[in-house]
Amino acid sequence: MKDRDWIYDGWLIGVKELHERRAPGNSCLSALSSGRQGTIDEPINNSKGCGGVMRIAPAGLFYRKENAFRMAADFAALTHGHPSGYLSAGALAYMIASIIEGQDIETAVKNTLIELENHENHQECMQSLNQALELSKSGLSDVDAISLLGKGWVGEEALGISTYCALKYKDDFKKALIAAVNHDGDSDSTGAITGNILGAYLGLNKIPADWVEKVELKEVLTQMADDLLMGYQEGRQWWNRYPGY
């Protein structure tokens, strides 16, 4: 155990609420309990569930876009071995990193599509993102548009639905989230991913204050987001807070 002591060196380990069971997906549970570490080259399974993409937004906050895609895909591949399971994660992190860099959402999506072409087996993710772009300008109702994108249970569908909602309501966090959670698929995941994209684009002040107040562990989440962004900015504050990193 000595060589793993570093795992327990961090303030998050002391947040007792994070030790509660929170119903992770079956792919995550089976992969993590296997004792093996999945990689892109040696996948642990053939899962493309959305558990990889829905957890990956912090990679887009921390890494610049040149590294965000590959790091996020590697992180997702720990538990999701299908290309659409880890490429959807890479795409989301790249999109968020692009937004943090100053790009508007549509530009970030289009640049993410260009980046996706550099990765093998990208077709499903590219198709879903392209469809999201088209549908966001189509005039279809949200229910009808989202039904064409799928249910969101798998990575590329969750990414597509969330991207559609963020594009359609890029200046209105509330409307985007309402659209993202009102379908009969994996609506909590698509709501979370939509919030990831628009939260990065609009900032905390554009999220309804009464919603923010109801979020569990909001102080912890805010501190984590601030810390990740400090790391992205590579300022002195990061090194003062995490001198051993």
Domain ranges of the chain: 38-207, 215-245
Instruction: Supply the pLDDT for residue 54.
Output: 95
Number of CB atoms found within 10 A of residue 178's CB? 15
Instruction: Supply the pLDDT for residue 223.
Output: 92
Instruction: Supply the pLDDT for residue 22.
Output: 84
Q: Which residues of the chain carry a pLDDT beneath 70? A: 1-7, 235, 238, 243-245
* Cα separation, 43 vs 7, whole angstroms: 24
Please, where are the H alpha helices in the chain? 26-33, 57-62, 65-77, 83-101, 105-116, 123-135, 142-149, 155-168, 173-181, 187-202, 209-214, 218-233, 236-241
- pTM (predicted TM-score): 0.93
Q: Could you read off the pLDDT of 95-106 as tens digits, one per residue? A: 999 999 999 999
Instruction: Supply the pLDDT for residue 244.
Output: 63
Return the CATH number of the domain spanning residue range 38-207: 1.10.4080.10
* Cα separation, 74 vs 6, whole angstroms: 21
